[in-house]
Structure 1
Amino acid sequence: MGWLWWIGGALALGILEMLSLDLVLAMFAGGAIAGAIAYLFGASVPVQFVVAALTSVLLLFTLRPWLLRHLRDRMPLVETNAAALVGREAVVVSTVTGEGGRVKLAGEVWSARVDAAQTIPPGTEVLVTRIDGATAVIAPVQGL
């Protein structure tokens, strides 16, 4: 009956992997399956845990990077949320300096600042170079 605990653990880890989608828990599930195989070969409980742990680590450092590389080759990474705003154009709503200001970005008004010691007047088109917390760091479009 001990092998059922290992298989149950592998199934639970597989279900949790479907929620996280980062291929770490899948490697642990593979380790649990290896623990079940060790049980079927008559290994003691400490040996089963060692086999499961070593298999998990081996899968994490060999199979997971290969799988991630091939997944990213098939599907490009799509930026979402604030990261998707980098590189987009915005319009200055209130004067932006190194200390702050406001821009209209993707239909919303964001706090903004510039890295350089310059002042950007309202109505100027700017480009978002990065997002720093809840602040868009911008540069003038013609300045790039």
Structure 2
Amino acid sequence: MDTILQMFQDWAWIGWLVLMVLFFVIEIFTLDMTFLMLGLGSAVGLLSTLTGWPVWVQVIIAALAAVLLIFVLRPPLLRRLHRGEDQTRSNVDALLGLHGTVLLEVTALTGQVKLSNGETWTARLASDAPVIAPLSPGAPVTVSRIEGATAYVRSAHV
């Protein structure tokens, strides 16, 4: 039994190398910096094999290093990575607050609007709209939310 434990202790560095490579490969596909930190924690575990400490101590050291890296190094790295991103809203977010014109009378159940970006949408009156009366064709509207393929609008005059 002691020979098996000693063999495990002697070859633990291979396990650390395998973990490092695995975490780094996963990081390539996720780009979230979490697996990078876990890989660096595994590198610390690999370095701790040089001390001759038991494997359970190496695991604790590697885990502490990974947790420390995740909470200390990862947040500033992510901020730096996302610093130059385009802040332009897209998809549904770009439609919120957009102005348009009623094509077919808009009620709580039915309607159609043409938005300023040129798109035509099925529309309903927004539940939080101050005007509950139907909006007539030609009336200006503002998009308050999107649910599926329906734009919930309110009068632009209010």
TM-score band w.r.t. shorter chain:
0.7 to 0.9
1:74 aligns to what SS in structure 2?
A: coil
Report the Cα offset of residue 22 of structure 1: 2.2
Q: Which amino acid aligns with 2:151?
A: A
Counting only pairs closer than 5 Å after superposition, residues 35-74 of structure 1 correspond to structure 2 as: 35-74=45-84
Partner of 1:33: 43
Q: Tell me if 1:127 matches 2:139.
A: no
Is the 8 Å Cα contact of residues 123 and 153 (structure 2) preserved in structure 1?
no
Is the 8 Å Cα contact of residues 7 and 36 (structure 1) preserved in structure 2?
yes
Report the Cα offset of residue 78 of structure 1: 4.9
- Over 3 Å counting, the alpha-carbon distance change for 1:31 and 1:142 in structure 2 is farther
Q: Which amino acid aligns with 1:31?
A: G
The normalised TM-score by structure 1 is 0.72
1:96 aligns to what SS in structure 2?
A: coil
Q: Tell me if 1:109 matches 2:121.
A: yes
The normalised TM-score by structure 2 is 0.67
Structure 2's unaligned 5+ residue stretches are 1-10
From 70, 91, 95, the equivalent of 1:85 is: 95
**Range with bigger deviation, 24-33 or 128-137:** 128-137
Q: Percent identity?
A: 35
Rg comparison, structure with higher value: 2
Q: CA RMSD in A?
A: 2.9
Count of residues paired in the alignment: 143
Distance, in Å, in 2 between the alignment partners of 1:40 and 1:84 is 55
Partner of 2:13: 3
1:93-128 Cα shifts (integer Å, max 9, x gaps): 443344564444563534544122433334444333
Structure 1's unaligned 5+ residue stretches are none
Distance, in Å, in 2 between the alignment partners of 1:108 and 1:42 is 70
Q: Which amino acid aligns with 2:144?
A: T
